[in-house]
Amino acid sequence: MPEGVLVFAEQREGNMRKSSLEGLNVAAKLVGDVGGSVSAAVIGKGVAGLAEKLGKCGASKVFVAEGDALEVYSPEGYAKALEAIIKQADPAVVVGGCTGMGRDLLPRVAAKLGAGLVSDCTELSVDGGKVVAKKPTFSGKALVEAVISDGLQMFSVRPNIYPAAEEGDGSAEVVNVDAGVDAGSIRAVVKEIEKVVSSRPELTEAGIIVSGGRGMKSKENFSVIEALADALGAAVGASRAAVDSDYAEESIQVGQTGKVVNPTLYIACGISGAIQHLAGMRTSKVIVAINKDPEAPIFQVADYGIVDDLFKVVPLLTEEVKKLLAE
């Protein structure tokens, strides 16, 4: 009889992603009603050492699939490994982060197992032994409640919705899983990964984001919001209009065709607030809009709005932040 909650613990280069610790917190909230215990799945090369941290954060058992062919993420290899772990762990519920990797991996595994999957969830609860998931739809204008009626229940949770699990004095039993993944079983091979080198937080995990839109007027002008972001220790984002105008790289695009973010504070500078952009940041805890057009749609979702020229307002904000932090 399947029982318990298994968390797919995503790691990059041996470092646990924040979304994985958030998943452990979600699992701890669900397991009391679902039954069983919280376990975690880790896939990679040389990642068994992560079990100690996962144990301290609430996992009673950590299933580890390691191998040379799993050193970097590949859809085939990781899907085969996670499938093997799920079959051995036999959980009632599987939870993962709705990250770039999670969006690719979890649907593949759900299809291989014939399981139900609800993606991009913003709330999970239990009713009658079944997990009830809430997720945004229609560009965030409405919420859908979904229940997987039969079999394995799988969910991906939007990052920054739940706080990360805190470390305690717990420990986890380590279970090594032979997933049978080798170079010959992977058809699409990752040859090289080009990373953007930045001292700023990763966009989808950032607690504060400062974004610019078409109102930035040029690529060079993005330095204005970059200065504010650096003062706040924030990530920098951009609207699709700014990316299409070559003001910013596509890698920092926020929106329906970009990245979905959920920071504590989102500062929108020179962004009109098209539906495409709102779909990617509407669930931010606090939204601040700076736009000289008082009729801009962004003000309809903003908690705080400043109707003025961003090139006058943003440098003033930057200086005030620096003064506050210096005190």
Asked if residue 288 belongs to a domain, the reply is yes
User: Both 19 and 142 in a single domain?
Assistant: yes
Task: Please give the pLDDT value at position 129.
Answer: 85
Residues 37 and 179 in one domain: yes
Please report, for the domain that includes residue 104, its CATH number.
3.40.50.620
Cβ atoms of 14 and 133 closer than 8 Å: no
Question: Domain end: 153, 185, 217, which one?
Answer: 185
User: Do the domain assignments include residue 181?
Assistant: yes
What does 103-172 look like in DSSP terms, one character per residue? HHHHHHHHHHHT-EEEEEESEEEEETTEEEEEEEETTTTEEEEEE--SS-EEEEE-TTSSPPPPP-S---
Model pLDDT, residue 170 = 86
Closest listed residue to residue 45, CA positions, set 59, 65, 63: 65
In angstroms, the Cα distances linking 153 to 29, 92, 132, 146, 164 are 16, 6, 10, 11, 22
Cβ proximity of 189 and 72 under 8 Å: no
d(CA 223, CA 227): 6
Distance CA 7, CA 39 (A): 6
Query: What are the CA-CA distances from residue 111 to residues 19, 70, 114 (Å)?
Result: 23, 21, 5
How many structural domains comprise the chain? 2
Can you tell me the distance from the alpha carbon of 34 to that of 55, in angstroms, rounded to the nearest whole number? 20
- Give a yes or no: residue 278 inside a domain: yes
Same-domain check for residues 181 and 55: yes
* Judgement on whether residues 35 and 81 belong to the same structural domain of the protein: yes
Q: Give the DSSP letter string of 206-219.
A: -SEEEEE-GGG-SS
Of 152, 185, 218, which one is at a domain's C-terminal end? Answer: 185
pLDDT of residue 140: 78
Residue 194 is assigned to a structural domain of this protein? no
3-state helix, strand, coil split of the chain in percent (to 5) is 35, 25, 40
> Strands 130-137 and 142-147, how do they pair?
antiparallel
Query: Tens digit of pLDDT per residue, the chain (327 long)?
Result: 788 999 999 998 888 999 999 999 999 999 999 999 999 999 999 999 999 999 999 999 999 999 988 998 999 999 999 999 999 999 999 999 999 999 999 999 999 999 999 999 999 999 988 999 999 988 778 899 999 999 999 999 999 999 999 988 888 999 999 888 887 888 887 787 777 677 889 999 899 999 999 999 999 999 999 999 999 999 999 999 999 999 999 999 999 889 999 999 999 999 999 999 999 999 999 999 999 999 999 999 999 999 999 999 999 999 999 999 988
Same domain, 313 and 231: yes
What is the CATH classification number for the domain harbouring 319?
3.40.50.1220
Domain that residue 133 falls in? 5-185
Is residue 211 located within the same domain as residue 96? Answer: no
**Domain end among 155, 185, 215:** 185
